[in-house]
Amino acid sequence: MSKNIMDYETVELDDNDSCVVIIDQTKLPGKTEIIRLYTAQEIWDAIYLLKVRGAPAIGVAAAFGIYVLAKQIGKETKDFETFYVRFQEQKNYLNSSRPTAVNLSWALNRMEEVCLKAGREDKKPLAEILEILHKEAVEIKEEDTWVCKMIGEHGLSLVKPGDGILTHCNAGQLATSKYGTATAPIYLGQERGYNFRVFADETRPLLQGARLTAYELHSSGVDVTLICDNMSAMVMKNGWVNAVFVGCDRVAANGDAANKIGTSVVATVAKRYGVPFYVCAPTSTIDYDTPTGNEIKIEQRPAEEVTEMWYKERMAPEGVKVFNPAFDVTDNELITAIVTEYGIAKAPYRESLEEIRKKKEEGRRSNEN
């Protein structure tokens, strides 16, 4: 019996072989190719070239990646300070692969923190430090699964059986460890017989909605209809959409949210037609140090993604200028609510996101006790 795409792990660690194992998402849906990443260059390329993508999955891949690289460094030195210098170099290198998704730096910083505590504060031998790094990386992945399920539970409270849902890009299982963020309410609803009708934007220019979201939802038996990006207004005007769920790569302290290019267009159209627009955001994507969306650095992608990728022949004139930002920022006034694993935040977002932060801290303290 052939495996369904949902039967594969998006990101795995093969500790025995000392590598990160991922689905090469650039080959989907035509081919399911599992690749193994051993070197810093291979891990960097996989993130930059979108072989692994989606903010949570990038974070998990980075955590596993820096652990794999730490094992390699540990074979060359047993001195912690020498080890740490090399560790930091590799961490900074991986962090340079994509600038907008905060989960990348969040996961790498978290790994660095446990490394420093074990090495400098606790003076543990390098073998134990590597065990601690391994445990932390595994916990990051396990937490991501829990986070996605909780986002799904909270998101499900915002819709009712039979609703029409529109989503943009891919914030599904292929972008996370399980369930996805924006698709988590859809998958939980599917398990509970909600019979949602889902519209998936194709998401130009990289077609994550067409290649990935439509693929995984269809493979799961969800009633999904693929639409071009410029059709969202029509399906909303027709009354076919009761809610929009999107993921995000970074949320500013004021509630502005950066997500795949075209998201702000969907939000604007939803506002026009009175459709609630929900951003599904793990708290790891909330950047309290970034005041507004204006300060979020937007990644610029190669022109070829617009002019020739996916085409048999180049579909734009040679030499034409191309503007290809990977993300845009949706203003908080267009966002009905931000759904996190610790609850739902609504305007004013500075206050509600602070409340979410407090709930997270309380949860962390109770777990420690």
Q: What is the DSSP annotation of 157-226? A: TT--TT-EEEE-S--SGGGSSSS-STTHHHHHHHHTT---EEEEE--TTTTHIIIIIHHHHHHTT-EEEE
Neighbouring CB atoms inside 10 A of 346's CB total 12
Sign of CA dihedral 65, 69, 71, 74: negative
Q: Which of 144, 163, 201, 249 is catalytic?
A: 249
d(C-alpha 232, C-alpha 224), whole Å: 14
Is residue 201 annotated as part of the catalytic site, yes or no?
Answer: no
The residue with tokens 């998101």 is: 155
Neighbouring CB atoms inside 10 A of 132's CB total 18
Q: How confident is the model at residue 2 (pLDDT cuts 50, 70, 90)?
A: low
CA distance readout (Å), 159 to 156, 245, 267: 6, 10, 17
Q: How confident is the model at residue 365 (pLDDT cuts 50, 70, 90)?
A: confident
Using DSSP bridges, classify how beta strands 223-227 and 197-201 pair: parallel, antiparallel or unpaired: parallel
d(C-alpha 173, C-alpha 347), whole Å: 28
Q: Which residues have a Cβ under 8 Å from the Cβ of 35 and sit 6 or more positions away?
A: 21, 22, 23, 24, 46, 51
d(C-alpha 185, C-alpha 169), whole Å: 16
For the stretch 178-227, pLDDT in tens is 999 999 999 999 999 999 999 999 999 999 999 999 999 999 999 999 99
For the stretch 303-342, pLDDT in tens is 999 999 999 999 999 999 999 999 999 999 999 999 999 9
∠ Cα 34 39 43 (to 5°) = 55
Angle, to 10 degrees, between the axis of helix 126-156 and the axis of helix 55-74? Answer: 170
Q: Which residues have a Cβ under 8 Å from the Cβ of 325 and sit 6 or more positions away?
A: 261, 298, 299, 300, 301
**For residue 140, pLDDT beyond 80:** yes
For the stretch 24-41, pLDDT in tens is 999 999 999 999 999 999
Token code pair at residue 168: 């943009």
Whether the pTM exceeds 0.85: the reply is yes
One-character DSSP codes across 277-290: EEEE--GGGEETT-
* For the chain, percent of residues with pLDDT exceeding 70: 99
Q: Which domains, from first to last, does the chain contain?
A: 8-148 (1.20.120.420), 154-368 (3.40.50.10470)
One-character DSSP codes across 300-345: B--THHHHTTT-SS--S-TT-----BSEEEE-GGG-SEEEETTEEE
Task: Select from 324, 322, 323, 304 the least CA-distant residue to 314.
Answer: 304
**Averaged pLDDT for residues 245-252:** 96
* For the chain, percent of residues with pLDDT exceeding 90: 96
CA 243 to chain CA mean position, Å = 20
Residues in the chain, total: 369
Task: Select from 222, 244, 236, 165 the least CA-distant residue to 199.
Answer: 165
* Cβ atoms of residues 201 and 224 within 8 Å: no
d(C-alpha 36, C-alpha 246), whole Å: 30
Using DSSP's 3-state secondary structure scheme, residue 19 falls into: strand
Side-by-side strand order, sheet with 34-37: 11-14, 19-23, 34-37
Q: How confident is the model at residue 87 (pLDDT cuts 50, 70, 90)?
A: very high
d(C-alpha 361, C-alpha 241), whole Å: 36
Task: Select from 251, 246, 205 the least CA-distant residue to 228.
Answer: 205
Q: How high is the mean pLDDT of the chain?
A: 96
**Averaged pLDDT for residues 65-91:** 97
Neighbouring CB atoms inside 10 A of 193's CB total 7
**DSSP 8-state secondary structure symbol assigned to residue 293:** G
- In this prediction, residue 369 carries a pLDDT of 63
**Averaged pLDDT for residues 280-291:** 96
Q: How confident is the model at residue 1 (pLDDT cuts 50, 70, 90)?
A: low
